[in-house]
Chains A and B, each alone.
Chain A
Amino acid sequence: MLSLLVFLPLAAAAVLLLPSIGERLARGAFVAVTGIEVVLASLAWGRYDAPASGELALEQRVRWIPGVGSSYHVGVDGLSLPLVVLTTVVFLACAVFAVRESHRPRLQAALFLFLECVCLGLFVSADLILFFVFFDLSIVAMYFSIVGWGHGDAARSALKFFLYTFLGSLALLLGFVGLYVASDPHTFDMVELAAHPPLQGQGLAGGLVLSALLLGLAVKTPTFPFHTWLPPAHSDAPAIGSAVLAGVMLKMGTYGFVRIAMPMLPDAWRAWAPVVIVIGIVSVLWGALVAFAQTDLKRMIAYTSVNHMGYVVLAVGAAGVLADGADEARRVAVTGAVTQMVSHGLLTAALFLLAGSMFERTGDYALDAYGGLASSAPRYATLFTVAAFGSLGLPALSGFIAEFQIFAGSIATVPLTAVAVLGILITAALFLRTLQRVFTGPTTGLSEGFADVAPREWASVGLLLALSVFIGVLPRPLLDLIEPAAAAVAHLVGR
């Protein structure tokens, strides 16, 4: 089931490489395959039964490299299934958004289907080598997406993105090797490593391995101070590239925290929790403040990603602080962190697609080049407003569900984390100011003659926002999925 989900886009990508396939067919196939993927992911959710703590559902294991204790092992639980579904949804939205793409659409479809395979593969991986292969391939695919379909200084931004995140992945590999060497018997299997965490009680070695993992994941997430590859990559990437990068690929970093670092190195995680919390708080405030100072829409959204991912880091850090009677709070914090991954995926992908729509029309992201846009493009204004309010954490959208749990859980475990709440104030200020400057007042500058959203944009962004509203109003289906897994992580890290 999961293998079909992962490799169907790869097969489709391989077929699309045939030069004889026409552009129309390629674009249609892109939408069709990503649509089928959404259906398959929903079916997987339907067949999913919450596994016991530390185990996976819909598991499959095939011999692969037995010499080093690595196998093709896939499976899902409440941490990964939401991200799998999110991935398929974001890719569908991107395919619909790109349905009028005229620049090498066949190759673009093939590249993004390959990227979908890689992203899904990463989230279902239950083996560190497999995880690492997908992790690195995602960087390669995104590099080509920026170089091939980007704008501005795309080659330079892409290179920066590639080298920076690739360096991060090397640190990650170092950590994986450390886990392998320390495990007995030697294995790369994630389920076994989580069940019998190596390096327990070995402060120095555990700390070293964890710091390698943290470095790799922090670059990918990205957290302060490793985030500077993100803004140029986003501002020069194509719209759907940005949507996938922010919506799906940033989650690989935070997913690594809850899937690998916390359950496999609980001792070291608890020891390092204060550092993680501080990095989280700094990311929250730094990201929000720098975003506030931006004059370029895409860079601004990119920095809000640093802010939003900071909440996740903060929450997983707080979950590593054991205190009397704080067990429930730690569970709430981890649940909030995973919810935030999903929520941020939906909302930021929507915001980046909308930024792409803007660039398609005017070729300019400069905020002060616009004014009174709601007059010429009312539906665009509506979509942007909903996405912005979601991003600033307004209730009835998914961001609130995530951030409320993160704050409540974190503050209850580590009261000092209350400073991070200021982040929602700064993001509120920056989004309201953007709405005010770009959309209201007299219609001026590039706003004149700005065409309102086309059906493909309406459909793709609407899909993402509708899901965000659904989670915001009826969070139980998602939380029922996440909560047992989050409780398991909170328990594992408390060992």
Chain B
Amino acid sequence: MLDLVLVSLVVLPAVVGSVLALAGPAADRTAGPAGVATTALVALAAVLVAFPARGARPAVGTPFMAGSDLALAVDGLAAPVLPTVAVVALLVLLAATGSPDLRTARFHGLMLLFVAAALMTVLAATIPTLLVSWEVMGATSFALIGYHWRDPVAMASGTTAFLTTRTADVGLYVAAGAALAGGAGLGLSSLPDATGGWRDVLAAGLLVAGLGKAAQLPFSFWLSRAMHGPSPVSALLHSAAMVAMGGYLLLRVSPTLAATGWADDAAAWTGAVTTVVLGLVALAQGDLKQLLAASTAAQLGYVVLAAGVGATAAGTTHLVAHAAVKAGLFLAAGLWLEALGTKRLSGLRGAARIWPVVGACATAGLVSLAGIPPFALWATKDAVLAGAWEHSPALYVTALAGAGLAAGYAGKALFVLTRRAPDGVESGWDEERPGSRRVPGWSQGALVPLAAGAVGLGVLALPPLAGRVRHLVGGAAPEPGAVELLVSALVAGTAIVATLAVSRRAEGARGVWPTALTDWLFLERLAHRLVVSPVCRLADLVARADDAVLDRAVGTCAHLTVRLARASARADDTVVDAGVRAVGSGARRLGRLAQRSQTGQLHQYYLQSLIVLGAAVVVLVLVR
């Protein structure tokens, strides 16, 4: 029975989503309710299979390909993440019902397809299963980011996002080959058993795939482009799913990374450096969604760091708490964008005071993001930091600097949004689209549970629940000590106070941030210059060679054949046929010669026969 629920968790949203996506405008009216109802059922099912009333958590599998199964399983790691994804999806779709331009079958269909893929990623127990959901997630994100497809920029952003993440996905294909060759099979749990160099290839492939999806350095830029999508899309894709799934994959394969002796360090350091660098990028942004996007990459850095140091439970709680925080913040940003027509911080001054519920929820989210006690991300981040400390103090210090930056960028947004709006702030409204000046009740309602999560989910990382979570998820990270909790709270507090002071003074000052930071380290431009343009040039070159060399060679062969044929024809005339003619004319001349012997004079005939007779005798003698 529970097995059936598990299967329906993926099949139900996939089927409803496909039907809606293919039905087109005819189903627009029913799409919203169908989407919300489906995700509600899915959320219920997710809780059921993650925490079954009795018996073990379910696992199902059916033969698929390459000798491995299409297998779904709920283990301790999946148990907390599964309901997170499902509940955030439900709340996001609920909030999206307030947006008039998202009331389409296409939007809800694609969102449901995405949810199915994300849940399948959480549940995947083999590499083929993972790859199926992983790539479908990428493709639906392409369609969702490019949802407003008449806008060429939105579509191009979707393409950038898909191509960047697919570049990283190549790692999974290579990992599959390595797993097959390494004798470990394609099951995710048996991968650490792979032999020799294959294990290194395997770990490298998984690492690249995870870093790409999680928008870690150097792949982070696609997340900036992804902000061209509708806000509810960001609220789901860039909080609880997609980006989070990159971190989740690395948590899942953390033992494989550790087994190589280098991949775990690579993951930990990439995560730690991303918290700092993308923290700086976030601090420099003047656009709320861009700030949140950079912060997502930075926060996922903690999850990746946790995967690197084996602090699986800490990474998982951070992933879950961050999902609630970021979903709420993206939704709030989207609501302001729709109501006020802008997402630029300069236009959003005092926005939190206009609609109290939205303002309060966003404040809760930002305070949590800043790492202020006792809010959720303070505790979950410290659990990760404790793991980093065990591993290496340098790693700890780096990640702590990232925590300070998080307080900085969250504080900056907090200051702008909550302070009293200056006169004339309205001039900054409607710069992106005409605002509706209202926020639908449904959408506000959806924010409240997310804000509650942003406040309270920290209990998962604190005693007494922390122990149970660690028992559930596994991994071997220490709990953060009182000193560490205090240090990080102090760092966050100092940073936020400093930011507030700086913000107050620097207000209105433009261009204080270097372009490198506001422009996401020019990563996209670099990717264009180093990868995209050379490939385009190579393609043009190869296409020209195809025409000018290969095809021309074939044409030349054909022409040579024709020339050879003509030459043969000429030879036929001038040599063969001339020879035949020569034989003919020679015979004719001989005939004429023979005619001359017929003189009619008898004595000459006698002489001729005498010569012939003589010749015959000579021949006879010679031949014998």
When each residue 144-179 of chain B gets 1 if its CB lies under 8 Å from chain A and 0 otherwise, what string results? 001001111001100100110011001001101111
Which of A374, A401, A411 is within 8 Å of B177, CB to CB?
A411
A440 touching B149, Cβ below 8 Å: yes
Task: Check B162 against A395 for contact (C-beta < 8 Å).
Answer: no
Interface residues of A in 396-440 (CB under 8 A from B): 396, 400-401, 404-405, 407-413, 415, 418, 421-422, 424-426, 428-429, 432-433, 436, 439-440
Residues of B within 8 A of A418 (CB): 173-174, 177
**Residues in chain A near residue B146, CB distance under 8 A:** 440
When distances are taken between beta carbons in the complex, the residues of chain A under 8 Å from B149 are 374, 439-441
Instruction: Decide if A375 is an interface residue (CB 8 Å cutoff).
Output: yes
Select one of B24, B135, B150, B162 contacting A400, CB under 8 A.
B135
* A404 with B183: CB separation less than 8 A: no
Question: Contacting chain A: which of B64-72, B277-285, B291-299, B428-436?
Answer: B64-72
Which of B62, B135, B535 makes the CB contact (< 8 A) with A394? B135
Q: Which of A142-150, A252-260, A322-330 contacts B (4 or more CB under 8 A)?
A: A322-330
| CB-contacts of B525-560 with A (<8 A) | 535-536, 538-540, 542-543, 546, 550-551, 553-554, 558
CB within 8 Å of B: which of A243-276? none
User: For the complex, what is the distance from the CA of A228 to the CA of B551, rounded to whole Å?
Assistant: 6
- Residue contact B66 to A432, C-beta cutoff 8 Å: no
Q: Is B616 an interface residue (CB 8 A)?
A: no
Kindly list chain B residues whose C-beta atoms are within 8 Å of the C-beta of A440: 146, 149-150, 152, 155
Q: Write out the residue numbers on chain B whose beta carbons fall within 8 Å of the beta carbon of A289.
A: 535, 538-539, 542-543
Q: Are A401 and B174 in contact (CB under 8 A)?
A: no
Note all chain A residues with C-beta closer than 8 A to B155.
Answer: 436, 440-441
How many Å from the CB of B378 to the closest CB on chain A? 39
Q: Mark B502-543, 1 if CB is under 8 A from A, else 0.
A: 000000000000000000000000000000000110111011
Enumerate chain B residues within 8 angstroms of A436, measured Cβ to Cβ.
Answer: 152, 155-156, 159
CB pair A395 B135 closer than 8 Å: yes
For residue B133, which residues in chain A have a CB less than 8 angstroms away from its CB? 395
Q: Enumerate chain B residues within 8 angstroms of A396, measured Cβ to Cβ.
A: 132, 136
Does B152 contact A441, Cβ atoms closer than 8 Å?
yes
A285-304 contacts to B, CB under 8 A, are 286, 289-290, 292-294
B135: nearest residue on chain A (CB-CB)? Answer: A395
Could you tell me if A228 and B550 are in contact, using CB atoms closer than 8 angstroms? yes
* Interface contact A163-B546, CB-CB below 8 Å: no
Question: A229 contacts the other chain (Cβ, under 8 Å)?
Answer: yes
| Distance of B484 from chain A, by nearest CB (Å) | 43
The answer to whether B543 and A290 have CB atoms under 8 Å apart is: yes
Is A425 in contact with B167, judged by CB distance below 8 angstroms? yes
Residue numbers in A under 8 Å from B22 (CB-CB):
382
The reply to whether B166 and A428 contact each other, CB–CB distance below 8 Å, is: yes
* Also in contact, A404 and B128, with CB within 8 A (given A225-B550, A293-B540, A424-B170): yes
Please pick, from A332, A375, A401, A422, the residue contacting B170 in the complex, using a CB distance under 8 A.
A422
Interface members, chain A 84-107 (any B CB < 8 Å): none
Residue in A163, A225, A326, A426 whose beta carbon sits within 8 Å of that of B181 in the complex: A326
The answer to whether B162 touches A432 (Cβ under 8 A) is yes
Residues of A within 8 A of B163 (CB): 425, 428-429, 432
Let me know if B330 is at the binding interface, CB within 8 A.
Answer: no
Tell whether A114 is near chain B: CB-to-CB under 8 Å: no
CA distance A290 to B183 in the complex (A): 37
A325 to B181 CA separation, bound complex (whole angstroms): 8
Residue B300 interfacial (CB < 8 Å): no
Q: Once bound together, how far apart are the Cα atoms of A328 and B63, in whole Å?
A: 16
Q: Residue B44 at the A interface, CB < 8 A?
A: no
A329 and B551 in contact, given A289-B539, A293-B542 (Cβ under 8 angstroms): no
Which size class do B's interface residues fall under?
Answer: 35 or more
Q: How far is the CB of B508 from chain A (nearest CB, A)?
A: 37
CB distance from B591 to the nearest CB of A (A): 47
User: How far is B132's CA from A308's CA once the two chains are assembled, in angstroms?
Assistant: 20
User: Knowing A163-B558, A425-B167 touch, does A286 contact B542 (C-beta < 8 A)?
Assistant: yes
Give Cα distance in the complex from A422 to B531, angstroms. 12
A384 CA / B228 CA spacing, docked (Å): 24
Q: How far is the CA of A290 from the CA of B62 in the complex (A)?
A: 39
Kindly state whether residue A176 has any CB partner on chain B within 8 Å.
Answer: no
Give the complex CA separation of A374 and B150 in angstroms: 9
In the complex, chain A residues whose CB is within 8 Å of the CB of B551: 228
Contact mask for chain A residues 321-344; partner B; CB cutoff 8 A; 1 contact, 0 none: 000011011001001000000000
Determine if B131 is an interface residue (Cβ-Cβ < 8 Å). yes
Contact B542 A389 (CB under 8 A): no
Establish whether residues B131 and A412, one from each chain, have CB atoms under 8 Å apart when the complex forms.
no
Chain A residues whose CB sits within 8 angstroms of the CB of B181 once the complex forms: 325-326, 329, 411-413, 415
Asked if B142 is an interface residue, CB under 8 A from chain A, the answer is yes
Q: How far is the CB of B140 from chain A (nearest CB, A)?
A: 10
- Asked whether B201 is an interface residue with its Cβ less than 8 Å from the other chain, the reply is yes
B180→A328 contact, CB < 8 A: yes
Residues of A within 8 A of B173 (CB): 404, 407-408, 411, 418, 421, 424
CA distance A44 to B365 in the complex (A): 63
- Chain A residues in the interface with B (C-beta under 8 A): 160, 163-164, 225, 227-229, 286, 289-290, 292-294, 325-326, 328-329, 332, 335, 372, 374-375, 378-379, 382, 389, 394-396, 400-401, 404-405, 407-413, 415, 418, 421-422, 424-426, 428-429, 432-433, 436, 439-442, 475-476, 479
A-B contact pairs, 15 of them (CB 8 A): A227-B550, A228-B546, A293-B540, A293-B542, A293-B543, A329-B180, A395-B136, A400-B132, A407-B177, A410-B177, A411-B181, A428-B166, A436-B159, A439-B149, A479-B65
The 6 A-B pairs of least Cβ separation, nearest first, read: A411-B177, A412-B181, A293-B543, A395-B132, A228-B551, A412-B180
13 additional A-B residue pairs with CB within 8 Å, beyond A395-B136, A407-B177, A408-B177: A164-B554, A228-B554, A289-B535, A293-B543, A395-B135, A405-B66, A407-B174, A408-B179, A409-B66, A409-B180, A412-B181, A429-B159, A441-B152
